Structure 1
Amino acid sequence: MSQPQSRPAADLAPATTSMERFSQAIVAWAEKWFPDAYVFVVVACAVVGLGAVLHSGNPMATSKAFGDGFWSIIPFTMQMTMVAITGYVLAMSPPVAALLRRLAQIPRTSRGAIVFVGVLSIALSLVNWGLSLIFSGLLVREMARRRSLMLDYRAAGAAAYLGMGCGFTLGMSSSAAQLQATPASIPASLLPITGVIGFSETILTWQNLLVIVLVTVVSAVICHMTAPSRSATRTAEDLGVELEDDHLTPSQRKRPGDFLEFSPVLTIVVVLLAAGWLWNAFRSGNPFITMSQLNTYNFVFLLLGLLLHWRPRSFLESFVRAMPSVGGVLLQFPFYGGIGYMLTKVGNAQGVTLSDEIAHWFVSLAHDSGIFSVLVGIYSAVLGFFIPSAGGKWVIEAPYIMTAANDLHAHLGWTVMVYNIAETLPNFINPFWMLPLLGILKLKSKDLVGYTAVQFLIHTPIVITVAALLMATFSYHPPVIPAH
């Protein structure tokens, strides 16, 4: 059966409002010009590689850094792969599939569905970014099956991504806030500069709550105003996406040797084996922090998938069904490892890396805490475009940023949050975190970036300005160094 042809952007009816016209112009541009995610990361490699060569004057060192870094984030690549797969497997279990169907019935209009997905994505990201990314994507697929809804699949997919663009570093998923609150996690060289900064100084401040409310409201308004009119809507069918049922049809036992595949005995054994480890992992600290660790998150979701599928055969079939969603992650993430090494490992004659040079330049422009906050936000967003890893990037940037914060008497906890608030903004236009979602939706980055770029253009000046203004509501406290 041939797939339906997509309607060219030029054939769509004209937008009805100025915001919709603006967004549709960007969407049309992205669909025509934005490259595939693989091309995007290779271009980024070329740009950073050229910058590293010009900075260091050493092409061989740059090449070595790229090769050394290429496999440096393989553990993280595997973790991200499992985030996508375990989320998919869990969603195909009967209980979660039923929940997705019920949630998909709540919105009554396409515009309402897009807003609903966006707000839910941000709310879930405050608890766990992986849950937000996968669950929201699967919810969009479920909504798209409602023929009566006439859902714009691109705009809904972009809404599912909002938690990664402006939410997850404001909640328990914040790697930088977690690192600074845990003495054992703070590098020895950084501890004297920052001390221990508890959640009461970062994600649990009223200022952060205000930012969360602000970004949620702004995101929802943008979703509502940029949702295409009915005549301009492009459904999954228009885009050639087949929405086959994600729910599994139970297989039948065909031979005596299939007994264990259709029996819950092995599932029970595995869960019992894991029970002691889970007990130790969760009793020792905050469960939200424990779940934010990717290995723990994936382990829990894998076990939940086993339990909810109950029989190994159903679990195995769902696992195989989930595999196509992770091809982009496996191919492209290593390139970001190479980019990170070129930025942080290639030094000039004085041993200063390109990342160091950029940081020093930004910090040198600051003369007071307000300007400093703006510069931290801009710097974090710029570097986040090339190194989209909140926790790892913070370790690189923190010595320069926090030393300057102490010199300028800027509040250390809010400096962490300014970094957090701005660091995710490039995610709107960088496909790095988008890859698992694209695999689930069976779309390309160009299909979503038109809508997420509008979010980026509106959020960036608002969020960085508000974060800088809120710095004035804090008083400086010297670093709190724990006694040994």
Structure 2
Amino acid sequence: MKTLTSFFDRMVQRYLPDAFLFAIILTIVVYVAGVLFTASGPVEMVEHWGSGFWDLLAFAMQMSLVVVTGYILASAPVIRRALGRLSMLANTPVQAIMLVTFVALVACLINYGFGLVVGALFAIHVAKRVPSVDYRLLIASAYSGMLVWHGGFSASIPLLLATPGHFLEDTIGTIAVTETLFSPFNMFIVLFLLVTLPFFNRFLMNGSDPLKNTDAALWKEDEEEEADRSQVKIQPLTPAERLENSQILSLLIGVMGLVYIVYHFSVNGFDLNINIVNFIFLFLGILFHRTPKRFLDTVMKGVKNAAGIIVQFPFYAGIMGMMVASGLSQQMSEWFISFSTEFTYPLFAFLSAGIVNFFVPSGGGQWAVQGPIMIPAAMEIGVSSAKTAMAVAWGDAWTNMIQPFWALPVLAIAGLKVRDIMGFCVMILFYSFIPIVIGLLFL
């Protein structure tokens, strides 16, 4: 295990480019493939790329706020103390890896945006508690929680199918979550990973230099201490300074936010979507930082962590535009369908979704591309629509382990590069293939 992990780690460190360059390379690959294998010519592919370039602006803003509001909340003294107390459950590197993995898995089952932020922030606190832990593996363990998000409460595909009015309702009607999220095969996959992945990540420990690996965690600790020093009480001298240091203003707007949060859940039930997660993080951050000045000082520090998301997400939107408009994604899906049987169809639906996820890394967006192709084929072959949908969902979640798109928020918070964790993520990808395939084919 150590030898294999070290091999992938060396390969990734040597050959995997920065996440931004990865997005550029993917753009070129999709462009060339579109010109060669579809009816779209060179100019048309550029048109598809440019037309789709800004389609993820709203989503990019959401994910940027995930990073910024998560940083704001985690920088509040009360939250730092709470995460610090929870991190005390880990006293050794082995315990640190297993604890972070388990917490990240549970958090991502609740909500993927919540899990991304909580997993990364908790990993930093654990790294301070156990400085000898391999920091890169610790962050990879935090990111491994994303494996289960599409089998949890924020899963976009099964939740969409359970909602009246979805775009395939005329074909398959609505599908209750009891047939998807709470089906035996999905419960098996989720529980298997929840129980065994902490142990698997523990076996990935490869004895890397702890000083090198905890540099980012120590840097974060210094930054937080500096934030504390900047929050020393001062005596306001002007009306503007009094407003900036007014606890009353923060309390008023913070309470208003809490009232809306209560209203949202009372009306919509447990609807923990990405917008309400950001809303909760934002207004708890306002309350916990107590004054507008302290809050804004922390915002200034947190915003720089979102730089990679702001720059890279438009490139992925352009890639999606080329994949969909040229028909490349449809060709990929139809190729897998062409040699599937009733037994193997869930497996090939899963694998096709895993490949398409590299180029269309949004779960909802991927279903919009693949759903109209995979569902009719499943009905013709005689495969359950619910299982087909979950196969696509798990394929989307599976290759997130080696697709930098979703790792960007975690890496921004942790202060690492994509190549720092990807060697470990490759091993996690291979391991998770086993329970997913067992669940889809035999349960």
TM-score by length of 1: 0.86
For 1:234 and 1:421, the matched residues in 2 are separated by 36
SS at match of 1:183: coil
Mapping 1:108-257, distance limit 5 Å: 108-146=91-129, 149-164=131-146, 166-184=147-165, 186-187=166-167, 190-229=168-207, 232-233=209-210, 235-237=212-214, 242-243=219-220, 244-246=222-224, 248-249=227-228, 250-253=231-234, 254-257=236-239
- Report which stretch shifted further, 264-273 or 328-337: 264-273
Corresponding position: 1:50 with 2:28: no
Q: Deviations over 1:233-282 (max 9, x none)?
A: 45435679623242532233342331122222212332344456434422
Q: Deviations over 1:379-435 (max 9, x none)?
A: 110101211111111121111111122222222222222221221111111110111
Corresponding position: 1:464 with 2:437: yes
Aligned to 1:6: none
Aligned to 1:365: 339
The answer to whether the 8 Å contact 1:121/1:132 transfers is yes
Quick one: which of 61, 64, 68 aligns to 2:44?
61
The answer to whether the 8 Å contact 2:217/2:414 transfers is no
Q: Relative to 1, partners in 2 of residues 1:47 and 1:241: Cα closer, same or farther, differing over 3 Å?
A: farther
For 2:115 and 2:12, the matched residues in 1 are separated by 25
SS at match of 2:224: coil
> What amino acid is aligned across from residue 436 of structure 1 in structure 2?
P
| Bigger share in helix | 2
The answer to whether the 8 Å contact 2:216/2:415 transfers is no
SS at match of 2:120: helix
The answer to whether the 8 Å contact 1:251/1:314 transfers is no
SS at match of 1:252: coil
Aligned to 1:454: 427
Quick one: which of 15, 26, 31 aligns to 2:8?
26
- Report which stretch shifted further, 328-337 or 420-429: 420-429
For 1:209 and 1:342, the matched residues in 2 are separated by 35
Q: Relative to 1, partners in 2 of residues 1:75 and 1:245: Cα closer, same or farther, differing over 3 Å?
A: same
> What amino acid is aligned across from residue 175 of structure 1 in structure 2?
S
> What amino acid is aligned across from residue 74 of structure 2 in structure 1?
A
For 1:206 and 1:465, the matched residues in 2 are separated by 12
Q: Deviations over 1:173-205 (max 9, x none)?
A: 100011111113x12xx2112210111111122
Listed as ranges, the gaps of 5+ residues in structure 2 are none
Percent identity, please. 28
SS at match of 2:178: helix
The answer to whether the 8 Å contact 1:86/1:305 transfers is yes
For 1:359 and 1:417, the matched residues in 2 are separated by 15
Corresponding position: 1:413 with 2:386: yes
Quick one: which of 338, 341, 365 aligns to 2:318?
338
Aligned to 2:372: 399
> What amino acid is aligned across from residue 202 of structure 1 in structure 2?
T
For 1:434 and 1:275, the matched residues in 2 are separated by 30
The answer to whether the 8 Å contact 1:193/1:399 transfers is no
The answer to whether the 8 Å contact 1:69/1:337 transfers is yes
TM-score by length of 2: 0.94
Deviation for aligned residue 1:28: 1.5
Mapping 1:223-372, distance limit 5 Å: 223-229=201-207, 232-233=209-210, 235-237=212-214, 242-243=219-220, 244-246=222-224, 248-249=227-228, 250-253=231-234, 254-257=236-239, 258-274=241-257, 277-287=260-270, 290-292=271-273, 294-346=274-326, 353-368=327-342, 370-372=343-345
Q: Relative to 1, partners in 2 of residues 1:27 and 1:239: Cα closer, same or farther, differing over 3 Å?
A: farther
Which stretches of structure 1, 4 residues or longer, exceed 3 Å deviation after superposition?
231-241, 271-280
For 1:251 and 1:260, the matched residues in 2 are separated by 16
For 1:170 and 1:303, the matched residues in 2 are separated by 28
The answer to whether the 8 Å contact 1:362/1:376 transfers is yes
Q: Deviations over 1:207-226 (max 9, x none)?
A: 32211111223422221111
Deviation for aligned residue 1:355: 1.3
Aligned to 1:474: none
Listed as ranges, the gaps of 5+ residues in structure 1 are 1-18, 347-352, 471-484
